[in-house]
Chains A and B, each alone.
Chain A
Amino acid sequence: MNLNPSPADEEFRAEIAAWMRQHLSGRFAVLRHRGGPGDEDTYPELRRAWEQELAAGGWTCVGWPQEYGGRGLSIEQQVIFHEEYARAGGPGHLGHIGEGLLGPTLMAYGSEDQKQRFLPGILQGKVFWAQGYSEPAAGSDLANVQTKCWQESDGSWRVKGQKVWTSLAHEADWIFVIARSDPASKGRHGLSFLLLPLDQPGIEIRPIRQLSGSCEFNEVFFDAAVAQAADVVGAPGEGWKVAMGLLAVERGVSTLGQQMHFAHELELVIKAAKANGRARDPLIRNRIARAWGGLRVLRYNALRMLSGDGQGMSLGREALSYKYVWSNWHRDLGELAMDVLGPEGDAPAEDFDVLRLQQVFFFSRADTIYGGTNEIQLNQIAERGLGLPREARG
C-alpha cells in the first residue's frame, strides 16, 4: 500500500489546477460549485458553453482511449483530474451521461458507423445525452420494461411507451432507451437498445418538479417515436446486456470527484457552524467529526475499488456497498447541515453557500432512492456479498 503520489502525478495535478484557475473565470466564474445534484437546472446555456471550453482544452472524456479521441489517462490520473476539477469548483458536468455511459457503451458494443457518428459530438461537448431506463412500472425492478419497439418495413424502428426519472432530458439532444422488441418476452430477455433524437414529433418531455422545487428529472413519452435502422446498439433482443455492461465501470472513477464536492459541502457546514456558534455545541461537534471520518471512509472505499485487484482486500465487497455508503453519508450530512443552520434553514437562502446546504438536505433524499434504493442495495450486498438466498422474483 502506497498512498504517496508520484512526482508525475503531482505535476499533472498542478497542470489541471492551473487550467481550471485560468478558464473557470470571467463569464464562467458564476458556475463555480454550481450545477451539482439538486442544482442541475441552473445556467443551462452557460454550462453548454463551458462543456465546449472544456473540450477545447482537451478535458472532456479524459479516460477514453486515444483512438477514440480521449486522453487515455490511467485510472490514477483520471482520479486526479476529477479531484482537481471538483476542488476548483468545476460545475456539474452536462455531458456526463454521454461521456460516462453512452460513449463507453458504444466503444464496447457499437458499430464502427455508430462510433464515428456519435463519439465526436460527446468529445466536443456539443451533443448531450439522456438515459431512458426507468419506467413507471420498472423502478427497482428495472427489467420490467413495458415500452415497446418494433421495426417498420423500411428498417427504421418505432418506440411507444413512457420513461421516467430521465435526468436532464430537457437539456439533452439524444436519448438511449431500452425497449421491448419481443412482445412475448419478459424481464431481461427480448429488450433492444436504441438511440433516438429527442427533437421529433413522437417525443414529449414533461419535467417533474421535485420536493426541492427544482426540475432535473423528466417524464419522456414516446408515441411511435423514430429510431433509424442504424441506431440499434448490439443485436436486437440483447439490449439488457448492452445496458448493464458498463454500469460498473462508470461508477468508479468519477466518484473521487464527487467526494471533493462532498468535502466542499462539509466545509460549508463547518463555516456555518463557526459563524453561528453551533461549533461550540458538543453534539454538533461530535456529528461534524463523524461526518469528517465518514468522508475518509468514502475516499478509501473508492481507492480500494479502483485498486481492484482484490489483493489483500475482500472480493470487491467495498464495491457492492459503495453506493449505499455514500448516499447515506450524504443524507446524514444534509440533516446535520440543517441542524447547524437552525432557523436560517427555514427559507431558501440568498447566499448560495447556505442554499447549497439546503439543497443537500432536500436532494439527498433522492440519493438513497435512485440508482438502486437502500433496500435494493442491501439485498444485493446480502446476496452477492454474503451469499444469502436471493429474493423471490415474479
Chain B
Amino acid sequence: MNFSLTDEQVMIRDSAQAFLAETCSSEAIRAAMDSPQAYDPAVWQSIAQELGWCGLAVAEDRGGLGLGPVELMLVQEQAGYRLLCAPFFSTACLATTLLNEAADDLAQAAFLPAVAAGESLLSAPLPSELAAWTLPQLRASAHSDGWSLQGRVRRVPDAMSAEHVLVTAMVGDELALFSLEVQQPGVSMQPLPGWDASRRFTDLDLQDVKARRCDAEHLRDGLRRAAVLLRLYLAAEQLGAAQRCLDLTLAYVQERKQFGRIVGSFQAVKHRCAQMMVACENTRSAVYGAAALAAGAAELAALEMEISAARALATETLQFCSAEAIQLHGGVGFTWEYDPQLYFKRARASAHWLGDPDALHEQIAAQLLD
C-alpha cells in the first residue's frame, strides 16, 4: 500500500504545471475565451504534438503511452488550476474514455492512434444526468450502406473543432454507440451561449446523418465505467480550480492592507483561508485516492461510489472556494477584471456535468441503504 506518486507521475504533473503556467496566464485564457474556436491553436499544438497528453490514456498498441487514470487525473488537476482552454478534455478525456471503455476494436483502431498522435479532435455529449449516455435523444435506422441518425445531440463540448463525435442512439429498443463525422450534410450546429466561456458547448441537430455503429459487447457496463472515470477527471479539474482560488486569495490577502495591516493578518480572514485549504486537501485526498483505486482492480460498483463521493466533494469545494475567493478579494472580487469570477462561473457550470451532488449522493445512499 503506497500513496506516493511514481517518478514518472511527478514528472508528468510538474511538466504540465510548468507548461500551463507559461501559456495560460489570465490574459491568455481570456483571449482564448473570446476567440472563435475558444482556444489558442499554438497552445493546443504543443499539448497535442509535443507534450503528448492526448496519448496518456491510450493503450501502447494503439500508439499511446498506456498510462491510466492517475496520470490523466494529474494533468486534469493542472488544467483546472489554469482553466486551460483547449479541446483536451473533450478529446483526451471524454471521447478517449468512451472509446476505451465502450467502443469496439474497429473504432478504437480507427480513432485512437490519431488521437494519441495529437492529430485528431473528437468529442461526445456531456450530459447532466447521472445516467449519462444511456438516455439517448437519437434514433438510428439501418440502411443498405450503413446507419443513419436522427435527432438532437445535446451539449457537446468543443464540437465546433471536433472531426468526429461519439453518440448513443436507440436501435429499436436497444442502446447502441455510433461515431459520426461532424462535417457532413444533415449536421447543423447550434452553439450554446454560456456564462462559463472556458468550455464551449454546441448542440447538434442531425437529419439523416451517416454514422458508424461501434459499440463494444458490454455497452452498458462500458458506458457506466466511462461515466465513472470521467467524473474522476472532472473532479480533478475542479480540485485544481479550487486550489487556484485559494492561491489567488492568499496572494491578495497578503498584499491588501486595511487599518495599517495586511488583511490576511485578521483572524476572521485567516480562518476562512484555512477552511479553503481544508476543503482543498480533503478533496485532493478523495480524488487521488479514487484515482489510485481506479488504476487498480476495483470492482465497478465500489469504484462508482468512491468516485461519486470524490466528484460531489470536488463540486462543492470549488463552489465554496470560488465564492470565498470573491468575498475575500472584497470589491475587486466582484469585477470582471479579477479572475475569481472565471472560477465562480466554472464552478457553477461544472456542478451538474454527469450528475450533480444531490444525484451523486443519492446514488451512494442507494448502495448503503437499499
Q: Interface of A with B (CB < 8 Å)?
A: 1-6, 9, 76, 79, 270, 273-274, 279, 282, 285-286, 288-290, 292-293, 296-297, 299-301, 303-304, 306-307, 309, 311-314, 317-318, 321, 324-325, 375, 377-379, 381-383, 385-389, 391
Contact = CB atoms under 8 A, between A and B. Distances in A.
- By secondary structure, the B interface counts as helix
B365 A318 contact: no
A303 B278 contact: no
A282 B362 contact: yes
12 contacts: A3-B3, A274-B369, A285-B361, A286-B365, A288-B365, A297-B285, A297-B313, A304-B285, A311-B10, A313-B5, A321-B277, A385-B274
Nearest to B10: A312
A391 B1 contact: no
B273 A382 contact: yes
Given A311-B10, A378-B275, A300 B296 contact: no
Contacts of B369: 270, 273-274, 279, 285, 288
A92 B5 CA distance: 35
- By secondary structure, the A interface counts as helix
A76 B4 contact: no
A381 B60 CA distance: 43
Interface residues of B, number: 55
A292 B366 CA distance: 12
Given A296-B309, A303-B289, A1 B274 contact: no
Interface in B284-341: 284-286, 288-289, 291-293, 295-297, 305-306, 309-310, 312-313
A307 B282 contact: no
A1 to B, nearest CB: 4
A303 B275 contact: no
Contact of B361 (A4, A5, A290, A299): A290
Nearest to A76: B1
B254 interface: yes
Contacts of B364: 289, 292-293
Interface in B328-370: 358, 360-365, 368-370
Contacts of A270: 368-369
Contacts of A290: 312, 361
Contact of A301 (B10, B282, B313): B282
A280 to B, nearest CB: 8
Interface stretch (B83-91, B161-169, B264-272): B264-272
B296 A289 contact: no
A387 B313 CA distance: 25
Contacts of B313: 293, 297
A294 B295 CA distance: 21
A393 to B, nearest CB: 13
